[in-house]
């Protein structure tokens, strides 16, 4: 798998568009296990090219109810960004907690080659990233995982660890029993979960008892301490996913002090991850350094490792180029005329130049608000 280039003899005319239904179709044809494996491979490959990327922490607009973020990144050939929100109260209004879309563009021309949904895709890329990290940091004989938080991300985490890491038993807990019931409905008698044992627990402490890996993926925007030092056992790997913005944590600070801590992009994680609880000089290792062999991961079998996962733009870069490649290979998706096609690229006015003899229609003034436009249509 090489990074695709976007040079063309003829400039593209339309932008590829992938809807949620298109992504679901890709998964249906490729298989969820195959899709997760492919996405994990692209993510791993791009981590190995870490120094090739122009990186920055995401741009965030915080409110009392959630956050809206823009996540840009580029290499020499391709630029991507993701728009994503995180609003835990959304489900009460029939909306997803996380909603996202992304763009993949050609650096040489700036042309947007792809616009894709990233709500479903982000769930898969987050799970695939967790698995990439666990394969590098967890004990190779890990077979039991505790899954704390059984919401929208939970099935993807469960199946990624089952197929990519070899987890055979998952111990489930959520303060909302309806979330656990939903997960059970989705995974029981599911061919994707064949050979995976699901155990429902009544507390976090019960769920982590005997677990080789602990994944926390909770949604509440609060400084929580879901995993505490008394729950730790030698050799445990913790995959902390839910602590992903300022004021939102899941792991007690003493757990971080007891563990060897790994992050995606340190400047971002210090602000957004569970790492925000620690002093600025608290030592961490970036995951790319482990995957590239520049730093060690787990040093011994009884060591506790912690992956403070907040989600980084490079993972979305990997996911976008993966679905872009699959869309071409499987002939999935459509196109949209997002950018004007001009006979003369220097003449933009041609799009609105009046045709001689044409009768002017009734228009809407530029200053008219959008809601007034809707009233006029109605």
Please identify, among 274, 294, 311, the residue that sits at the C-terminal boundary of a domain. Answer: 311
Of residues 222 and 319, which shows the higher confidence score? 319
Residue 67 confidence (pLDDT): 87
pLDDT of residue 366: 44
CB atoms within 10 A of CB 293: 9
> What's the confidence (pLDDT) of residue 12?
66
Cβ neighbours, 10 Å, residue 188: 10
Task: Say whether 113 sits in a helix, a strand or coil.
Answer: strand
Number of structural domains in the chain: 2
Domain range for 228: 140-311
User: Is 48 found in the same domain as 183?
Assistant: no
Q: What is the dihedral of CA 53, 58, 59, 60, to 10 degrees?
A: 170
Contact 129, 309 (CB under 8 A): yes
- Asked, for residue 231, whether it belongs to a domain, the answer is yes
Task: Among 18-27, 29-38, 76-85, 366-375, name the one with the lowest average pLDDT.
Answer: 366-375
- State whether 244 and 154 are in the same domain: yes
**Are both 161 and 279 inside the same structural domain?**
yes
User: Is residue 9 one of the residues assigned to a domain?
Assistant: no
In the chain, the percentage of residues whose pLDDT exceeds 90 is 81
Does the residue 8 lie in any domain? no
CB 77 within 8 A of CB 108: yes
94 belongs to a structural domain: yes
Cα distance between residue 73 and residue 53, in whole Å: 7
353 in a structural domain: no
Among this protein's residues, is 244 annotated catalytic? Answer: yes
What does the pLDDT look like over 226-278, one tens digit per residue? 999 999 999 999 999 987 778 888 999 999 999 999 999 999 999 989 999 99
User: For the segment 312-339, what is each residue's pLDDT rounded down to a tens digit?
Assistant: 999 999 999 999 999 999 999 999 999 9
Question: Do 68 and 200 belong to one domain?
Answer: no
Q: Are residues 282 and 196 in the same domain?
A: yes
- Mean pLDDT across 157-173: 98
CB–CB of 171/204 below 8 Å?
no
Q: Are 219 and 185 in contact (CB under 8 A)?
A: no
For residue 367, the model assigns a pLDDT of: 43
Q: Give residue 195's region: left, alpha or beta (phi > 0; psi -120 to 50).
A: left
What is the rounded CA–CA span in Å between residue 373 and residue 260? Answer: 57
What value does the CA radius of gyration of the chain take, rounded to a whole number of Å? 23
Please give the structure tokens belonging to residue 143.
Answer: 């077979």
Please state the three-class secondary structure of 131-168 as a single string.
HHHHHHHCCCCCCEEEEECCCCCHHHHHHHHHHHHCCC
Domain for residue 87, yes or no?
A: yes
Predicted confidence band of residue 191 (pLDDT cuts 50, 70, 90): very high
- CATH number of the domain at 85, please: 3.30.1780.10
- Do 75 and 155 lie in a common domain? no
Q: Which one from 106, 244, 274, 308 is the annotated catalytic residue?
A: 244
CA distance 225 to 236: 17
* Separation CA 79–CA 54 (nearest Å): 9
What pLDDT, in 10s, does the model give residues 81-125? Answer: 999 998 989 989 999 988 999 999 999 999 999 999 999 999 999
**What mean pLDDT is reported for the chain?**
91
pLDDT tens digits along 66-85: 889 999 999 999 999 999 99
Asked whether residue 51 falls in the same domain as residue 184, the answer is: no
In angstroms, the Cα distances linking 147 to 11, 129, 218, 220 are 47, 16, 10, 16
Q: How far apart are CA 125 and CA 90, in angstroms?
A: 22
- Going by DSSP bridges, is the β-strand pair 78-86/100-106 parallel, antiparallel, or unpaired? antiparallel
pLDDT for residue 57: 92
- The C-alpha atoms of residue 160 and residue 189 are separated, in whole angstroms, by 17
Bridge partners, 70 (sequence order): 59, 83
Q: How many CB atoms lie within 10 A of CB 333?
A: 23
pLDDT per position as a tens digit, 277-306: 999 999 999 999 999 999 999 999 999 999
Is residue 180 assigned to a domain? yes
Residue 25 and residue 106 in one domain: yes
pLDDT above 60: residue 21 = yes
pLDDT band for position 224 (cuts 50, 70, 90): confident
Residue 3 scores a pLDDT above 60: no
Asked if 115 and 181 sit in the same domain, the reply is: no
Q: What number is the average pLDDT over the span 58-72?
A: 91
Average pLDDT over residues 157-180: 98
> Same domain for 259 and 285?
yes
At 254, which CATH number? 3.40.50.720
pLDDT score of 365: 43
Task: Answer whether 129's CB lies under 8 Å from 315's CB.
Answer: yes
Q: What pLDDT does residue 361 have?
A: 61
How far apart (Å, rounded) are the C-alpha atoms in residues 35 and 128?
A: 9
**Same structural domain for residues 112 and 163?**
no
Give the end of a domain, one of 249, 278, 311. Answer: 311
Average pLDDT over residues 211-219: 94
Assigned domain for 4 exists: no
Q: Looking at the structure, tell me whether residues 103 and 145 fall in a common domain.
A: no
Helix (H, G, I), strand (E, B) or coil at 296: coil
């Amino acid at each position: 798998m090489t990074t695709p280039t976007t040079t063309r003899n003829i400039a593209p005319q339309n932008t590829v568009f992938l809807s949620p239904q298109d992504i679901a179709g890709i998964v249906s044809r490729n298989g969820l296990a195959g899709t997760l494996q492919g996405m994990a491979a692209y993510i791993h490959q791009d981590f190995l090219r870490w120094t090739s990327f122009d990186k920055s922490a995401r741009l965030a607009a915080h409110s009392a109810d959630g956050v809206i973020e823009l996540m840009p990144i580029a290499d020499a050939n391709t630029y991507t960004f993701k728009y994503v929100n995180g609003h835990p109260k959304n489900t009460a209004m029939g909306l997803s907690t996380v909603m996202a879309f992304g763009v993949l563009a050609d650096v040489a021309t700036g042309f947007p080659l792809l616009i894709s949904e990233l709500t479903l895709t982000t769930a898969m890329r987050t799970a695939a990233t967790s698995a990439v990290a666990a394969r590098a940091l967890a004990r190779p004989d890990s077979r039991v995982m505790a899954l704390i938080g059984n919401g929208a991300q939970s099935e993807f985490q469960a199946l990624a660890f089952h197929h990519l890491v070899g987890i055979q038993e998952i111990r489930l807990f959520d303060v909302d029993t309806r979330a656990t019931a939903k997960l059970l409905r989705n995974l029981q008698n599911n061919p994707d979960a064949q050979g995976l044992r699901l155990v429902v627990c009544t507390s976090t402490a019960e769920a982590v008892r005997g677990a080789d890996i602990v994944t926390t993926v909770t949604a509440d925007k609060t400084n929580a301490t879901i995993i505490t030092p008394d729950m730790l056992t030698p050799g445990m790997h913790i995959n902390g996913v839910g602590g992903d913005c300022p004021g939102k944590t899941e792991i007690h600070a003493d757990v971080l002090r007891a563990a060897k801590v790994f992050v995606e992009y340190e400047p971002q994680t210090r602000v957004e991850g569970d790492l925000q609880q620690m002093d600025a000089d608290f030592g961490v290792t970036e995951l790319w350094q482990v995957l590239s062999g520049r730093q060690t991961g787990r040093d011994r079998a009884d060591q506790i490792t912690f992956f403070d996962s907040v989600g980084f733009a490079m993972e979305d870069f990997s996911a976008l180029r993966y679905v872009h490649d699959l869309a071409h290979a499987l002939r999935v998706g459509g196109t949209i005329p997002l950018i004007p096609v001009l006979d003369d690229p220097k003449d933009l006015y041609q799009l609105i130049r009046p045709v001689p003899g044409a009768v002017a229609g009734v228009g809407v003034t530029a200053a008219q608000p959008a809601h007034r436009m809707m009233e006029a249509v109605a």
